[in-house]
Structure 1
Amino acid sequence: MTTENTASQETPAAAGGKLPKRYLVTSALPYANGLKHIGHLAGAYIPADIYVRYLRAQKRDVVYVCGSDEHGTAIPIQAMKEGTTSQQIIDKYHAIIKQNFEDLSISFDIYDRTSNPIHHETAQEYFTYLNDRGELEVKESEQYYDEEAQTFLADRYIKGTCPNCGFEGAFGDQCERCGTSLSPDELINPVSTLSGKPPVKKTTKHWYLPLNRHEEWLRTWILQEHANDWKTNVIGQCKSWIDNGLLPRAVTRDLDWGIKVPLPDAEGKVLYVWFDAPIGYISATKQWAKNTGKDWEPYWMDKDTKLVHFIGKDNIVFHCIIFPVMQKLHGFLVPDNVPANEFMNLEGDKMSTSRGWKLEMQDYIDDFIKKENGGPQLADALRYYLTTILPENKDSEFTWKGFQDAVNSELVAIFGNFINRTFVLMHKLCHGKVPKFHNDLIDEQDKGLIAEISLTKAKEEDLLEQYKFRDALFEVIDLARKGNKYMQDKEPWIKARQVGEDGNVTETAQAQIDNCLHICLQLSANLSILINPFLPNTAKKMCHMMKVVDKMLEWGNAGSMKLLSVGYSLRAPELLFRKIEDAEVKTQIDKLQEAVKAREVAASQVATNEQPATNNEQKEGTQTNPDQSASVEAAAKAEIIYDDFAKLDLRVGTIRSAEKVAKADKLLKLEVDMGFEKRTIVSGIALHFAPDEIINKQVVVVANLAPRKMRGIESQGMILMAEDQNGKLHFVSPETAINPGATVS
């Protein structure tokens, strides 16, 4: 039994053989040019924190590093917007982001920043090491130069007319109006945003990392050695990059904000931010070692170290292809795994800071955690919901109704309800103390629940080792659900009515009550251990109620039925969670609607100033079929803006199997190869195509459509089709064969 001193037990070996000697875990460095939203939190930070807390509970040697990414053109651009300096921008947002993570219980061992001297030194040494050994190439090219400002111009410092839509304020990398990716050379009448003058072309020299030299190594390392243990979406994206051929990538650029290139002939040049940012993991580890008196080198050089990068899918190429090449050339470790997540949408739309469609970490902290009746329990509430909807294999969606349902129907009604009922009944029926267990009265229900505790521990452990955090959390909640059912079946409150002539509960009834509540209390103690990686504040509060030290949360204690000593007094119950009220949900949805209105106003202002061509205006020489024009016009839908179209994730898929759906004349059940995964899609095309004639047919799939059940089958996408004048359906397909998973834009 465990009271104020918790017994230590042996740490179990993880599935898969010998454990690594140590772990180095990283989360993608957030860019310090603005506030970060919960999509970022779900992508790279919540999953990593769960994993790290689990490893710590296992008493494994783990260091969790992160920090602010503080270089690149976005920083001075944000400084211009806010009328301040780049240094003030990074100081401002570094402090806010760091505090946000603390408020949401992200437990970094160090949260550093790339503006620190130790990082500048590390990045410059890294560049020098590669350059001195001939691993970099030097090339000359012509780039735009502002003669008045006397500086080369990054893409974002050039504006002009978009060649695609005619918008006069397009940037050198993208048109904000139509969304087309651009290069400065494509702009019509380009001008510098610094001086307002037309730039000139000027020759400049830069250093490049020749990724093409390392294609075969990458192919072997990723596509063979990690084919079975990396996520399919990661493997698929890497394969696409490698198959398309890798090119040299510039590691320097002409800019006055960043880490200076340490060469005498590189005046005015800095390291490209994509090159210096991942080196921030190493410099942060160095700073951690300096702070703690440890040695940083084994964490990056010893093969007994397991390196794991947690990122979003937009960072896959940097962490799986570019940074590993840099690491191999320098003699550092390459990652053991890169469990990248997909994107998280918000209320049916892609989160976007620029469009105002977002839920920033700071917003949630202000509206829930820092308010009265808030606090750490609502930090855990967000952690819980985000974990249940983590975009582990495909994009997911945050909705305020979903958040409310998850908290009220699961955290409150299942987990919190079980703990509260157990403590209330223990105080009411057992004098506030842990009752003894009567072995002679143990029954099959008792044995079954005791067995479930050990089984849940084993399942959760296996799932966490595989980075399946959603499934692991489900197992814990399901165990609490089983505890509720056990208590309901046992009905100790009914047995308490069985009294003798003396007016007291009979001895047999009390023994049955004791057994029920003893098991429920031991289960409560186990639940605190099992929930700790996900909801650390909840686990600590449970320890407080049980009057035990946090040492009990060590993983080796899970599965024990002797965590709480018989006769030990426990504190009065406290509610672990509170319900989310309808008014709170309405307030948050109203905020989003206000953002929509503001966006519509801005769009209408643009439309007023820059009238697009009307539907009646046709390009010279264009002809229409008079017999079809009326029907086409009638079928036309309301005009949309680019942002509406950008919500769609259109990808090429290959149909691998097809079969009729029982009792549904129009439906075919298709297995579609998406490159990174295979999906089941139910399509209403059975009257137009026989199953065997569409095998290996390439189609265009709406890949981010919410799943929908049809005839009991969950359909995970939609096939795009065209209908001719006779009502016959035709596939929308690429002209030539293309890799499954390729995006359509």
Structure 2
Amino acid sequence: MSERILVAVAWPYANGSIHIGQTAGAYVPADIFARYHRMKGNDVLMVSGSDSHGTPVTLEAENRGISPEEVFEHYHAEFLDCWDRLGISFDLFTSTHTENHTEIAQDIFSQLYENGYLYTKTMLQPYSEADGRFLADRYVEGTCPHCDFDGARGDQCDECGRTLDAQELIGIRSRLSGDTPIFKETEHFFLKLTAFEDELLDWIRPQAHWRPNVKNFSIGYLEGGLQDRPITRDIEWGIPVPLDGYDGKRIYVWFEAVIGYLSASREWATRRGEPDRWKDFWQSEDAKSFYFMGKDNIPFHTVIWPAMLLGYGGLNLPYDVPANEYMNLEGMKLSTSRSWAIWLPDYLDRYDPDPLRYVIAAGMPETSDSDFSWTEYVRRNNDELVATFGNLVHRVLTMSYRNFDGVVPTPGRLDDDSQALLDEAERRFREVGENLALCKFRAALMEGAMALAQAANRYLDRKAPWQTAKTDRIATATTLWTAMTVINCLKKALYPYLPFSGEKLHAMLGFEGSVADDGWDWSPTDLTSGQSLQKPAPLFQKLDEAIAEQETERIGQQR
């Protein structure tokens, strides 16, 4: 029986290019997961969009002397291009700057207000006399009171992940003028998070399928005691408060951006001409929603967004939040301010997408921080993609194409060695699916698919068809058919990770259509003897080892 799967992916601020850390944190794992479930025949909806109203967008606009809308539109177009080139298969990648999103965000605001979960209170906000205005959270920075990190923002510390109030910052300063702001009173709307503390704890504690880091962080966050949070700000760029008398205030981004998952789902349904279709993913008891993001966004998706959903009523809570830890770069934390990053558009201009998807998945920071280095990128490309998987494919298809008239050979009786490899393929394929369903992407890849590729190479070395081709045509045909059958299994198992290479291999094996069309099933009978093969060509390109040093030197120079 098919499942309904909502894949909700973090919304990037439309103030700069996507970097490899974001790609590893949310976008590649979400796409692997969505592709797997589509192949399973499940009803999948994968949505995200550009966060166009965040203060990072207005900061970038002020720095460049252009409007926030111009900044957002530039990077939104760039994001769409990157997703297409990297193979991130969104059903809809929209933005928060749409009438649809505005209407839904205002509806949730209004309903929470009517239900008694929003209230107004006068609070102190940083005000810059030099700038002549109130400063939203990201317009100020200082030292975190919890971990002493100098560079914490007025809403959150990226070093320790704690959410903050600007008044907590030590040595607070304006990011515009550098002056020390004063604190002035201003009235704002607050979300009554304290009303949901016990209910959220009761919901999270039984979630045995959550990653331990996500579950433990969320429980600790709640047990530390929630505080009501302001959800409006004195800014001009954003969604207006839908109540009379608050013309100068906007709904703050951390509140309205998470609503994007819902508004994007409804926009997708409307675009399909099925305006109620979103309900299948948000109101059906059998629907499951998975939220993909980096660990800095955990509390917004395990505490704050669920509180909003509870307060609004009638919508499903997250089923799982498989948030990743950080992927560092060359042993150091990524830093956009220092440009210590690999920018996705720059990478895609010069390299193929599948090797990056593979390297990210092989070192995915699922339970602890991991590291990306160009040395490791080149090694994995050359040793694993080219020498292990690519060489297996090229050897088998080239020998078959040359020795058996360009068709899949007809095997003789399988010996124990050949049958054992097919049995291992069946087991590994099943394990890949099980791990993908559990969001264990690294294990599915390395302990499942790539372990099978290694086993197939060992089998080929033992059988040495390049030698038996001269003396025993039936034995050679049996060996090549067995290896090619396993390659067809690997094609499916690796497709969620390597969609571009998977389609090339699918065509070379003589199949029509897409790999995804065949579903998540594999049988040795899928490959038909006598089936015409395309002339083989290498799936991957070996890289010069000097590239690692050259690319490492480029870090910090590109933006």
> TM-score, normalization: structure 1?
0.69
The alpha carbon displacement at 1:191 in A equals: 7.4
CA distance in 1, matches of 2:18, 2:115: 39
The alpha carbon displacement at 1:404 in A equals: 0.7
* Structure 2 residue aligned with 1:455: 427
* Structure 2 residue aligned with 1:632: none
Q: What is the one-letter code of the residue matched to 2:423? A: A
* Structure 1 residue aligned with 2:270: 290
The alpha carbon displacement at 1:425 in A equals: 0.7
CA distance in 2, matches of 1:156, 1:552: 45
Going from structure 1 to structure 2, the CA distance change for 1:139 and 1:336 (only over 3 Å counts) comes to same
The alpha carbon displacement at 1:434 in A equals: 1.3
* Structure 1 residue aligned with 2:454: 481
The residue correspondences of 1:84-483 to structure 2 (distance < 5 A) are: 84-145=66-127, 151-157=133-139, 183=166, 193=176, 202-223=184-205, 225-226=206-207, 228-294=208-274, 295-331=277-313, 332-368=315-351, 378-439=352-413, 442-474=414-446, 475-483=448-456
User: Do the aligned partners of 1:308 and 1:335 also contact (CA within 8 Å) in 2?
Assistant: yes
User: Do the aligned partners of 1:153 and 1:192 also contact (CA within 8 Å) in 2?
Assistant: no
CA distance in 1, matches of 2:143, 2:316: 46
User: Do the aligned partners of 1:155 and 1:184 also contact (CA within 8 Å) in 2?
Assistant: no
User: Do the aligned partners of 2:388 and 2:454 also contact (CA within 8 Å) in 1?
Assistant: yes
CA distance in 2, matches of 1:557, 1:269: 50
User: Do the aligned partners of 1:146 and 1:192 also contact (CA within 8 Å) in 2?
Assistant: no
Q: Secondary structure at the match of 1:349?
A: coil
1:54 to 36, 46, 55: 36
Are 1:532 and 2:495 matched, yes or no? yes
Q: Secondary structure at the match of 1:550?
A: coil
User: Do the aligned partners of 1:20 and 1:305 also contact (CA within 8 Å) in 2?
Assistant: no
User: Do the aligned partners of 2:141 and 2:169 also contact (CA within 8 Å) in 1?
Assistant: no
Number of aligned residue pairs? 547
Greater helix content: 2
The alpha carbon displacement at 1:547 in A equals: 2.3
Going from structure 1 to structure 2, the CA distance change for 1:187 and 1:468 (only over 3 Å counts) comes to closer
Going from structure 1 to structure 2, the CA distance change for 1:436 and 1:208 (only over 3 Å counts) comes to same
The alpha carbon displacement at 1:160 in A equals: 10
User: Do the aligned partners of 2:339 and 2:557 also contact (CA within 8 Å) in 1?
Assistant: no
Q: What is the one-letter code of the residue matched to 1:418? A: L
2:22 to 40, 61, 65: 40
The alpha carbon displacement at 1:192 in A equals: 9.5
Going from structure 1 to structure 2, the CA distance change for 1:428 and 1:263 (only over 3 Å counts) comes to same
Per-residue CA shift, 1:631-689, capped at 9, x if unaligned?
xxxxxxxxxxxxxxxxxxxxxxxxxxxxxxxxxxxxxxxxxxxxxxxxxxxxxxxxxxx
User: Do the aligned partners of 1:158 and 1:184 also contact (CA within 8 Å) in 2?
Assistant: no
Of stretches 200-209 and 120-129 in structure 1, the one that deviates more from structure 2 is 200-209
User: Do the aligned partners of 1:256 and 1:268 also contact (CA within 8 Å) in 2?
Assistant: yes
Q: What is the one-letter code of the residue matched to 2:76? A: H
User: Do the aligned partners of 1:37 and 1:358 also contact (CA within 8 Å) in 2?
Assistant: yes
Going from structure 1 to structure 2, the CA distance change for 1:117 and 1:347 (only over 3 Å counts) comes to same
Q: Secondary structure at the match of 2:555?
A: helix
Are 1:578 and 2:532 matched, yes or no? no
User: Do the aligned partners of 1:483 and 1:523 also contact (CA within 8 Å) in 2?
Assistant: yes
CA distance in 2, matches of 1:64, 1:529: 20
Which structure has more RCO (C-alpha within 8 Å, separation ≥ 6)? Answer: 2
Q: Secondary structure at the match of 1:206?
A: strand
User: Do the aligned partners of 1:58 and 1:555 also contact (CA within 8 Å) in 2?
Assistant: no
The alpha carbon displacement at 1:510 in A equals: 1.2
Going from structure 1 to structure 2, the CA distance change for 1:459 and 1:242 (only over 3 Å counts) comes to same
User: Do the aligned partners of 2:140 and 2:166 also contact (CA within 8 Å) in 1?
Assistant: no
The residue correspondences of 1:618-697 to structure 2 (distance < 5 A) are: none
Going from structure 1 to structure 2, the CA distance change for 1:567 and 1:158 (only over 3 Å counts) comes to closer
The alpha carbon displacement at 1:72 in A equals: 2.4
Residue identity over aligned pairs, in percent, reads: 38
* Structure 2 residue aligned with 1:492: 465
User: Do the aligned partners of 1:28 and 1:44 also contact (CA within 8 Å) in 2?
Assistant: yes
The alpha carbon displacement at 1:583 in A equals: 2.9
The alpha carbon displacement at 1:459 in A equals: 0.6
Per-residue CA shift, 1:487-506, capped at 9, x if unaligned?
111112211222xxxxxxxx
The alpha carbon displacement at 1:553 in A equals: 4.1
CA distance in 2, matches of 1:312, 1:426: 45
Per-residue CA shift, 1:171-217, capped at 9, x if unaligned?
877999xxx988468777977948x9986654321111111111111
User: Do the aligned partners of 1:58 and 1:554 also contact (CA within 8 Å) in 2?
Assistant: no
Going from structure 1 to structure 2, the CA distance change for 1:379 and 1:429 (only over 3 Å counts) comes to same
Per-residue CA shift, 1:41-63, capped at 9, x if unaligned?
00011111001000011111000
Are 1:547 and 2:547 matched, yes or no? no
Per-residue CA shift, 1:282-313, capped at 9, x if unaligned?
11111111111232122111111111101110
* Structure 2 residue aligned with 1:677: none
Q: What is the one-letter code of the residue matched to 2:294? A: G
Are 1:591 and 2:534 matched, yes or no? no
* Structure 2 residue aligned with 1:511: 474
The alpha carbon displacement at 1:153 in A equals: 2.8
CA distance in 2, matches of 1:299, 1:185: 39
Q: What is the one-letter code of the residue matched to 1:285? A: S
Q: Secondary structure at the match of 1:67?
A: strand
Going from structure 1 to structure 2, the CA distance change for 1:118 and 1:430 (only over 3 Å counts) comes to same
CA distance in 2, matches of 1:109, 1:189: 42
Of stretches 386-395 and 265-274 in structure 1, the one that deviates more from structure 2 is 265-274
CA distance in 2, matches of 1:413, 1:171: 46
Q: Which segments of 5 or more consecutive residues in structure 2 lack a partner in the other structure?
A: 146-150
> TM-score, normalization: structure 2?
0.92
Going from structure 1 to structure 2, the CA distance change for 1:430 and 1:317 (only over 3 Å counts) comes to same
* Structure 1 residue aligned with 2:148: none
Q: Secondary structure at the match of 1:205?
A: strand
Going from structure 1 to structure 2, the CA distance change for 1:191 and 1:333 (only over 3 Å counts) comes to closer
Are 1:565 and 2:528 matched, yes or no? yes
Per-residue CA shift, 1:381-411, capped at 9, x if unaligned?
0000000000001000001110111010011
Q: What is the one-letter code of the residue matched to 1:349? A: M
Q: What is the one-letter code of the residue matched to 2:418? A: D
User: Do the aligned partners of 1:160 and 1:188 also contact (CA within 8 Å) in 2?
Assistant: yes
CA distance in 2, matches of 1:25, 1:365: 24
CA distance in 1, matches of 2:548, 2:478: 42
* Structure 1 residue aligned with 2:56: 74
CA distance in 2, matches of 1:467, 1:174: 27
Q: What is the one-letter code of the residue matched to 2:190? A: Y
CA distance in 2, matches of 1:328, 1:35: 34
1:65 to 30, 47, 54: 47
User: Do the aligned partners of 1:434 and 1:568 also contact (CA within 8 Å) in 2?
Assistant: yes
Going from structure 1 to structure 2, the CA distance change for 1:415 and 1:162 (only over 3 Å counts) comes to closer
CA distance in 2, matches of 1:171, 1:564: 57
The alpha carbon displacement at 1:478 in A equals: 1.4
Going from structure 1 to structure 2, the CA distance change for 1:58 and 1:557 (only over 3 Å counts) comes to closer
User: Do the aligned partners of 1:159 and 1:171 also contact (CA within 8 Å) in 2?
Assistant: yes
Going from structure 1 to structure 2, the CA distance change for 1:416 and 1:170 (only over 3 Å counts) comes to closer
The alpha carbon displacement at 1:156 in A equals: 4.7
